[in-house]
């Protein structure tokens, strides 16, 4: 009865339009009250949900991404990508994917990727004769690179949700190959669709322009090297690397590029504070909600249910993928990471899946959900930036869904894709 009430209250709040964070908190407190548990424990769980030192890295990562967005780093990455691959058929589509891979590896956010790169690339692609739905679809689907390629604050959330079972440095390494694999699949599809639609190639600007654009992009790209390299080398903790990366991004935009105005800086601060507050409230309330899921033994129930359906690891992995994808279509990613990890991770481990590999499966599934109706945040932002009706974009986005699905199946059933680089830390 208590579990039913917990889920019904949560679903009811979401249907009524209550923000997901508050829906989680209201449902958890209601369940505490119905079970006769002291409400003090509920508020202790809410507070303890954000009393984790590594979570301090999240505001730094968010602020660094905002500084780079408003400080001109994104446009320099686009120019380098355009010089490198723009001369191919449908080159601007591949430029879009490569730019997302480069910028996503710095900002760590899919929505930031769309906001920064979409506002630059989508108008240019339409001006060059590309259909608006193609421009939006490439931008939306490639934005998932910001989730997979380090540094990613979503990986920090996953590490926290595992209760310290996996290290953030290993998660950062694990995301590199899956993220690049997914981008390669998307670039191939962008190329095929471009040929089918008859898009023409751009003129190669010459090696001098290519080298010059690379030199201009390197200071911005080095932000990711500092953050990820500092963590992997042991020089910084994750939080310290985030703080240092933020200072470096600020210095680059002020001293090197000289492109961050006072008004842009204030906007970056305001956006960072708003995003950080939303994430932290979500984490806090999800802590209490997750406690009640454990109290009602939901992980055990889910494990027994799936093992009752089949004890075949392949079938179980497919069921986990389907459930994560469906949930990703209707809920916020950060909330799902905190809710689904304690439910599905024990099941995945019981059939021999490494927690790091499961993290990559989780990230890509939920990332695909961000691009999928009815609640795909990335899809909505991309269509808004490109001024394209969602219905029009969805009708032609399916080849890019297939590309991500192929990458997802590869990381699901080929563990080496996710685990080879992290294993180097053990050596």
Domain coordinates in residue numbering, the chain = 2-426
CB-based contacts of 221-228 (< 8 A; 24+ apart in sequence): 221/77, 221/102, 221/106, 222/248, 222/252, 223/64, 223/68, 223/73, 223/106, 223/248, 223/249, 223/252, 224/105, 224/106, 224/150, 224/151, 227/61, 227/64, 227/150, 227/151, 228/150, 228/151, 228/172
Burial of 99 (0-12, 13-18, 19+ CB in 10 A): buried
Of 132-136, 207-211, 373-377, the range with the lowest mean pLDDT is 373-377
Angle CA(149)–CA(245)–CA(119) in degrees, nearest 5?
A: 60
Whether the model pTM is above 0.85: no
Say yes or no to pLDDT of 107 above 70.
Answer: no
Highest mean pLDDT among 18-32, 64-78, 401-415: 401-415
Is the distance from CB of 95 to CB of 82 less than 8 angstroms? yes
Of residues 223, 213, 219, 210, the one with CA closest to residue 256 = 219
Say yes or no to pLDDT of 427 above 60.
Answer: no
> What's the whole-number mean pLDDT along residues 285-305?
80
Handedness of CA 184, 391, 104, 420 (dihedral sign): negative
- 109-123 pLDDT per residue, tens: 676 677 767 777 788
- pLDDT at residue 418, as a whole number: 92
Of residues 128, 121, 119, the one with CA closest to residue 99 = 121
- How far CA 27 is from CA of 4, 8, 365, in Å, comes to 11, 8, 25
Q: Is 193 helix (H, G, I), strand (E, B) or coil?
A: helix
Burial of 327 (0-12, 13-18, 19+ CB in 10 A): middle
- 154-212 pLDDT per residue, tens: 888 898 888 878 888 888 889 989 999 999 999 999 999 988 888 877 777 778 888 88
């Amino acid at each position: 009865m208590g579990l039913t009430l917990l889920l019904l209250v949560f679903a009811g709040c979401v249907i009524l339009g209550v923000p997901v964070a508050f829906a989680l908190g209201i449902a958890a407190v209601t369940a505490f009250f119905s079970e006769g548990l002291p409400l003090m424990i509920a508020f202790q769980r809410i507070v303890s949900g954000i009393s984790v030192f590594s979570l301090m890295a999240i505001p730094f990562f968010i602020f660094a991404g905002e500084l780079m967005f408003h400080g001109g780093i994104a446009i320099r990455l686009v120019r380098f990508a355009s010089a490198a691959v723009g001369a191919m058929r449908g080159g601007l589509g591949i430029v879009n994917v490569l730019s997302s891979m480069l910028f996503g590896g710095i900002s760590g956010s899919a929505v930031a990727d769309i906001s920064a790169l979409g506002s630059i690339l989508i108008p240019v692609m339409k001006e060059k004769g590309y259909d608006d739905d193609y421009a939006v679809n490439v931008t939306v689907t490639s934005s998932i690179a910001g989730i997979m390629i380090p540094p990613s604050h979503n990986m920090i959330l996953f590490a926290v949700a595992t209760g310290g079972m996996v290290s953030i440095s290993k998660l950062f390494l694990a995301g590199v190959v899956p993220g690049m694999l997914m981008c390669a699949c998307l670039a191939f599809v962008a190329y095929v669709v471009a040929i089918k639609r008859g898009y023409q190639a751009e003129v190669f600007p010459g090696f001098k322009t290519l080298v010059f654009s690379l030199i201009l992009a390197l200071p911005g790209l080095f932000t990711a090297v500092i953050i990820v390299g500092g963590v992997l080398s042991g020089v910084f903790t994750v939080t310290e690397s985030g703080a240092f990366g933020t200072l470096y991004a600020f210095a680059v935009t002020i001293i090197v590029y000289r492109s961050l105005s006072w008004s842009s800086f204030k906007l970056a601060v305001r956006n960072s504070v708003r995003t950080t507050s939303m994430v932290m409230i979500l984490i806090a309330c999800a802590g209490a909600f997750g406690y009640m899921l454990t109290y009602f033994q939901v992980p055990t129930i889910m494990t027994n249910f799936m093992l009752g359906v089949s004890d075949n690891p392949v079938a179980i992995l497919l069921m986990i993928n389907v459930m994560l994808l469906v949930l990703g279509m209707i809920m916020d990613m950060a909330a799902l990471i905190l809710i689904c990890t304690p439910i599905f991770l024990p099941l995945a481990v019981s059939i021999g899946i490494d927690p790091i590999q499961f993290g990559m499966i989780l990230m890509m599934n939920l990332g695909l959900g961000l691009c999928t109706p009815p609640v795909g945040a990335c899809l909505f932002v991309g269509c808004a930036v490109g001024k394209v009706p969602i219905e029009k974009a969805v009708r032609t986005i399916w080849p890019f869904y297939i590309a991500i699905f192929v990458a997802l199946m590869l990381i699901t059933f080929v563990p080496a894709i996710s685990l080879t680089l992290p294993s180097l830390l053990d050596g």
